[in-house]
Structure 1
Amino acid sequence: MKLSRFLFLLLFILSTSVAFAQSSSELKRKKEAIQREIDLLQRNLKKTANNKKLTLGQINALNTKIKLMQDKISVINSEMKNLDNQIHENTNTVINLKGQLGQLKKEYGAMIRFAQRNKNAYDKMMFIFAAKDFNQAYKRIKYLQQFGQYRKKQAGYIQGTQKDLNYKIVILDKNLKEKSNLLHEQENEKDKLGKNKSEQSAVLNKYSKQEKQFRQDIATRKKQQAQIDRNIRAAIVREIELERKRALEAARIAAEKAERAAKAKAAAATAAAAAKAKAENKPAPAAVAPVAVAKPKPSSSGYLAATPEAAKLSAAFESNRGALPWPVTSGSITESFGKHKEGQASYDNAGITIQTSEGAGVRAVFNGKVSKVGSALGRHYVLIKHGQFFTVYQNLRSVSVSAGDEVSTKQNIGTVATSGDMPELMFQIYRGAVAQNPASWIAK
């Protein structure tokens, strides 16, 4: 029973250690990813630090950086909570192991004293020969043998428990040091956050002085952006209309074929009936009317997925919702999908804005076909069709694909341009002509 309890305790220690390690490693990876985003935004902000004119990209980058720093502090708090749980578990384990070790040593000491009193071989022989019969003598021999083996096992249990105890004490010391380091890291992050909030206050103060010019700049930029978005939607609508015409033409051809087949079948039936009537010397029957064939009409939402290939591609794209790769290898979302307001200026974002590193490569997020490559305001955009879905990549400095090209997932299609002193990519997803929130489609 004692051995069973010991093994159960050991198994519990190992399982909790593994679970903690997995959770701890996930938090560390998350913290490192957040720090990479913070570093990228900091590099971009550093390059624009001396600019007298305030830009929307700078404000978005600063606000996003502060949010990420708060997220990092939350992750550190989660790490500390995990460590507190582990320290509590390890402390209880050390106490239990010490109690078990004390009990094992006490029992082992009693066995040693018994063995000392009966260490004389003569005493053992007398103990055996004092048996009533042969059967009892045999049992006494086996008892002496088992007693010796049990004593060795007990010594092994003591050594094993002592080893586990020493290991757990080392782990506990390591946990305490990690907690101390995390507390220090947390204090540093809070100091940095305080400085960044002061910087944010200075930027807002600067914004209040430039508010009129800033609103005008946003209005001009978003007016231009809205025109680009309208052009892209118009291209998508033209693509849908083209597919509609193709689908209707295919349906018309299929219906004509079916109608011809129905007429041929009716004619054959009429001829067979006439031949039978003639053979039976009966009047010729009336002609068999062909069966009416309904002309299929695809729904407007199904035009883009009317062919088996397009339907398969659409289904594959949709099945990857929440797991599509990012259109850049590193970056941070500084402007989310939907309506926004900066001071008195308001605007609508049909996608997300991702700040990335200067000259970063842009890649397709899924297999598809390039529908359009356009230019606006000295920059380029790429529209890629994925069945009934479209992805849009705006604000490109250069493009490496052309309309009609087939592209694969993560294939490079161009490089990011700098917009308002910040390297930014505007990324959009459409289902038909309806804009989707890309943040819910790309991997977290």
Structure 2
Amino acid sequence: MFQQFKLAQGVKLYVRPTEQFKTISISFKWKQQITEQNAAIRSVLANILQYSNNVYTSNAEFRKRLDDLYGAVLYFDTTKKGNYHILSLNAETVNDAYLSNEKVVDEVFSLLSTVIFEPLMKNGKFVDSIVKREKEQVIERIQSMYDDKTRYAQQRLLENIRPNHPASISANGTVSTVQQITNEQLVEMYNTILSSDELSIYVVGDVNVEAIKEKMDKHFRFSSRTPVQEPSTVDIKQASHEKDFLHEIQDMKQGKLHIAYHTPINFYSEDFPIMQMTNGIFGGFAHSKIFMNVREKESMAYYASSSYSSLYGLVFVFAGIDANLQEKAVLLIDEQLKVMQAGDISDLEINQTRSMLINQLKEALDSARAQIEIYDQYKELNEAFTVEEWIEKWSKVSKEQIQQMASKIEKEFVYFLSGKEGADNE
């Protein structure tokens, strides 16, 4: 899917020449172990690098330069992947092939180089007023979670089942960690990114591979660094919790029911495709047992589904319910897993789930950005990743394998967020 080139130790270039898109998408991804503190520092740093550099010192100047390049898009982003924090620099530009005489792509590569290697600094430090402004922006982003009750409920669930663990660490850190960030820490992190973070660079579009390699050599010089070693196992379950149910109350109407299950199967497991199929039948799609029985048949939930967090070996169920239905809903959701463990799995459910997984993957690949994200994940398993390979894996999954997989899933914790009416704390 992508052609791979080693630019330096720990620095790889992945190029996908394709006529599928009229634009060229570029992504730099710096990776390091996640902690609450470095997540906060890297999120603020991403904002600082995005909005100011030594050539275009203000956001207005920078935006104008992008407009001059036929509306090129350039932005930073932070996220996490398993135990790692990912700081990304993404760009999208028109392809020179669709312009009469101008050469924009090289200018965009030059701009990317400026953003990476020439941040706006004075006396070896970032500008204090910019640091203050971007810290406030990240704090606002973190606080916005409290207004989204579904995100808030999921975060509270994670904090209870995996405290001080990558699963519960936000890619933006916490308000307190952001507040404590110093200019010196930001400079240190910037230098670490340039010299130590494992770096993957992606280019997707109707491009000449050799020309892209030449542009990389012309505009970028990255030093060698030690590649990150990906884990092949996952913690099955942490130490037993003091309790396995928590009900919290806020001023709200619809209750948010979030249930965590653990499984010994993770992204790196040989049985990962079986677990994908199992989750799909359990609650992953509109034909799933949870959706059909909890929402459609019993009309017990406004929404109901499950998701498989493969990098942590966790399955989550989400349901929006009336507060007085919490106990009934949990019992009914539990029942869906039990019937799967008993072998109540139809050929129709298997075929529908397989089709949905295939369509989901194919539809995602309609976007250049999604191609980069999917390959960035799946290349950890096999750098020769193809859609056909995964279709074959899913096609081999049997009813018996799904039943056995369902038997390995165990409920770990129930979190319920509601208004004043509803179940009492336990």
The structure with more helix, counted as a fraction of residues: 1
TM-score greater than 0.5 by the shorter chain? no
Q: Answer 1 or 2: which has greater strand percent.
A: 2
TM-score (norm 1): 0.17
Larger Rg: 1
Query: What TM-score does the superposition give when structure 2 sets the normalisation length?
Result: 0.18
